[in-house]
């Protein structure tokens, strides 16, 4: 009975204001450290997804060439180096036969809407083959092919649209862009290595002189 009457001290000491401020400061510091790390991890994941898209295009382009006498997709009329209607016709057909999932034409970093289908190659419109990517072969006059055998496996085939542009939150990645080459391997090309904002290296080496 005497044991039941013993009063034990309570152990519910409250935090002081200083202790609360210290804990809060530690939390703020941890958040400041983690947010940039998470941002970099997220961008790395998006780059990997983009590289996968481009690798798929590289394989598709090679399969297209095998079925079309070695020529890559090009719908330009004779003597014409670029045609909006020609690019739309050939890239819509390419998408249908060799890249039927429309979301492949969207880079995970691109804020533009993901296409539901590929119905055009016009820029800055919904459901475009050029939502996120540019295609080398549509910039040739058809007299010059382009034939994949002349590219030695090294010419760029498809790349992040405006991947060489100054850093911008509007389009794709910062500090450069992904490129897939004629041997179907895809890689990151830093912005300083791009020939122009929408022209990766070594595109000039395999591009014929325009009359």
Residue 16 has pLDDT above 90, yes or no: no
* pLDDT category of residue 167 using cuts at 50, 70 and 90: low
Residue 86 has pLDDT above 90, yes or no: yes
Residue 16 lies in a domain: no
Residue 107 lies in a domain: yes
pLDDT the model gives residue 156: 98
pTM for the structure as a whole: 0.79
Residue 123 lies in a domain: yes
* pLDDT category of residue 211 using cuts at 50, 70 and 90: confident
pLDDT the model gives residue 53: 95
Total number of domains constituting the chain: 1
Residue 87 lies in a domain: yes
pLDDT the model gives residue 174: 81
Is pLDDT larger for residue 17 or for residue 107? Answer: 107
In tens, the pLDDT along 17-51 reads 777 777 777 777 777 666 665 555 566 666 788 99
Residue 4 lies in a domain: no
Q: What is the 3-state secondary structure (H, E, C) of the chain?
A: CHHHHCCCCCCCCCCCHHHHHHHHHHHHHHHHHHHHHHHHHHHHHHHHHHHHHHHHHHHHHHHHHHHCCCECCCCCCCCCCCCHHHHHHHHHHHHHHHCCCHHHHCCCCCCCCCCCCCCECCCCCCCECCCCEEEHHHHCCHHHCCEHHHHCCCCEEEEECCCCCCCCCCCCCCCEEEEEECCCCEEEEEHHHCCECCECCCHHHHCCCCC
pLDDT the model gives residue 14: 59
Residue 24 lies in a domain: no
Residue 66 lies in a domain: yes
Whole domain around residue 114: which residue ranges? 42-206
Q: What is the mean pLDDT of residues 102-108?
A: 95
Q: What is the mean pLDDT of residues 128-155?
A: 96
Please tell me the least confidently modeled range out of 96-100, 160-164, 172-176: 172-176
Residue 150 lies in a domain: yes
Average pLDDT, whole number, for the chain? 87
Top mean-pLDDT range of 33-47, 71-85, 156-170: 71-85
Please tell me the least confidently modeled range out of 7-11, 53-57, 75-79, 110-114: 7-11
Q: What is the mean pLDDT of residues 113-139?
A: 96
pLDDT the model gives residue 1: 45
The separation between CA 130 and the C-alpha centre of its own chain, rounded to angstroms, equals 11
């Amino acid at each position: 009975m005497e044991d039941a009457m013993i009063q034990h001290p309570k152990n519910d000491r409250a935090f002081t204001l200083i202790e609360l401020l210290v804990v809060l400061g530690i939390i703020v510091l941890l958040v400041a450290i983690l947010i940039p790390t998470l941002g970099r991890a997220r961008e790395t994941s998006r780059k990997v997804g983009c590289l996968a898209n481009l690798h798929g295009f590289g394989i598709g382009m090679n399969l297209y060439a095998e079925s079309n006498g070695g020529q890559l997709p090009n719908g330009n009329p004779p003597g014409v180096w670029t045609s909006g209607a020609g690019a739309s016709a050939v890239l819509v057909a390419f998408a249908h036969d060799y890249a039927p999932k429309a979301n492949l034409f969207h880079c995970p970093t691109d804020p533009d809407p993901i296409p539901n289908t590929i119905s055009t190659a016009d820029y800055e419109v919904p459901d475009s083959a050029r939502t996120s990517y540019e295609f080398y072969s549509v910039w040739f006059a058809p007299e010059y092919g382009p034939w994949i055998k002349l590219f030695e496996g090294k010419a760029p085939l498809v790349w992040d649209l405006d991947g060489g542009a100054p850093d911008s939150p509007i389009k794709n990645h910062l500090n450069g862009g992904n490129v897939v080459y004629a041997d179907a391997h895809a890689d990151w090309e830093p912005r300083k290595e791009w020939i122009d904002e929408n022209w990766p290296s070594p595109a000039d080496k395999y591009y014929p002189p325009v009359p």
